[in-house]
Structure 1
Amino acid sequence: MAIMFKGAQSRLNDVRDAIVARTAPPYRANMTTWINDYWTASHLGNDAVKKQLSDVLTMTDVANAGDEATRMKRRVLVFLEGIKAGSNLVAAKAAVGNLPAGALDARIGPLVAKLTIQANQDKGNGELVRDKFLVELKQQPEHFLRNNRLLSGAIGAGAANYFFYEYNKDQYKIDMTRPAQFLGAYHFQAAAVPGVFWLNVPGRTNNPANGSFAAIAPTVLGTGVNDAPVMISTMFSGCAFCFKQETLGAGRLLAAHIMPDDGNGGVVSGGGTGLARQLAGQVPGVVAGNFSGSAAGNFRVYGAGWSNLAAPLNVGYPVRTQNDQFMNIFGTRINNAWQIWSQHILNGQKTVVRVL
């Protein structure tokens, strides 16, 4: 039994070392610590568990596994895919264990790069996730959103938000709190646009057929040196994003996030599409949306299945039909002008459009 245990530990160490060897040199210590801690978190102090995991990583049951170097690549890929899939190495082996030898490096490289971001975030100084935010998301939003899944959780105004990467879900997330182990999550200042139940807009009331959206309280997106450089909001799954660029005075940009439910399980007439039409003044009896105390400017609505923006955005974002389907809004100031971007996710597929 002692011999089997030693072999199991040796195989696990070899897989770790092979991953570390593919990691950029400045982050190899982070990666080593991260994987060692992962072993511990997986209860690998237990000899039986170590052997079980080691047995999954053996390639003796894989047809055409190749020479030892190729078999090691297969072990590395199974581990990297397995921990991304909720620590299910058995499923990962079934999915990728028989890939052609020539395809292995192309699959391994991006996964090592992503796990390096996680390792540096958790065990290092977090500079990689910081640069993802400052260099890519803030300065190149379209590029970032087309290539990365972004999820918004609970948000807060000012410097009360974190940006971090979750390798196991292959997504970046914005939230007021960070998981305890994500010590290097990036802490940033933002203009936060909170979600508001439709009936809580002053003057709208809970009457489905009558009321007014003309006094929405806005979040002001400024362009001064002390104003937040980015805008965030919570996840959209039927909600409407409203904004207005004032044409007088300082030309402020105002924004709001209106939700189609009432907080008690009820939904506004017509759901998300009906809400967008009400806000745009398309429903008799309901006064069109506007921001309280605002100057002249066009009030714009980007909702689920409908929008008053010009084509092709006039169809809004897709109405939700599946669990893994949502939309996020992200705003950023580039050359002191605001850009607002939408990322819609459906079963992992990303659709990115510029709203403003």
Structure 2
Amino acid sequence: MSPRQAEVETLVPHPRETSALFGHRDAEAALLSAYRSGRIPHAWLLGGPQGIGKATLAYRMARFVLSRRDPLAPEVQRAETLQVDQNEPVARQVAAGAHGGLLTLERTLNDKGVMRTVITVDETRETIAFFGSTAAVEGWRVCIVDTVDELNPNAANALLKILEEPPQQSLFLLISHAPRRVLATIQSRCRKLSLRPLSQADVISAAAQAAGLAADEPGLREAAAASEGSVARALTLLGGDSLKLQQRTAALLAALPGVDPRELHALGDALGTSDRVALAAFVDSIEHWVAERLRAPGLDANANLPRLARLAEVWEKIARAARDTQDYNLERKPLVFSVFGMLAEATR
């Protein structure tokens, strides 16, 4: 990992610590308008590509609701955005992960200190105790699920039960990178809010602020141009090595179902043995390529359904293998060969 890449990875704050929102003004206005009406839906599904600010918007909404508990209060009715001053007590508590009215469901470390690949049912059941408790705080209780895509089947069913009979003054903000694949029964109980990729200018501004960089940082504009509107992707690609790796991966993907073993060996060497940023750039390139094909099946979508189903199944296997490679710090080259072997088979 280069010094610049290490610096970027260290400086990027958690969304709960991020107060600024770049883009997504329509989505923010929809949340604010619903809250001001006094009849806000109890569950929202915030969908869109990874790294565009869905979690940032969710925490922004949580801070607003938890600090302005009466939707009909004059200050709420006059508000033009969901902005809450960072120095307000609620904002500081949310940033520290210490507000009694906010529960976040996300992947956690297991007993061995390794990041789990899913959100478990036991963690999800915490929502029942959280919403059933009266001791923590008065007023609204907010649950952010980041992401609902990572709920295992039992966890999804546990969440569904509480969504079916939501407590008073409860608000669920479910984040999804693939909202169409969320359990249909969960979708039906949510107001859907789609977020689009950011403009290149917004990516540059957001990435610069997130990582504490200057907007004219060398490589930032090039990384933003290749980011497809994702701040996370721009930060992953920041630096010439990551951009070159993305380009090399893209060339191999373009040749599918053909595979050149020599190029795969070279790509595996380029990933190194412990460079998390390089691995993230590789997996991001694969995910983007697969997502593009799932979104654009061609003129005869029905005829392509079997192929698309195979591709989606392969992506699930790739994602699991990539998480294991990162969590257990496994060799990268076997992953490269496995990924392109599966993709070649799925695209024949």
How high is the TM-score relative to the length of structure 1? 0.26
Structure of higher RCO (CA pairs closer than 8 Å, 6+ residues apart): 2
* Structure whose alpha-carbon radius of gyration is higher: 1
When normalised by structure 2's length, the TM-score is 0.26
More helix by share: 2
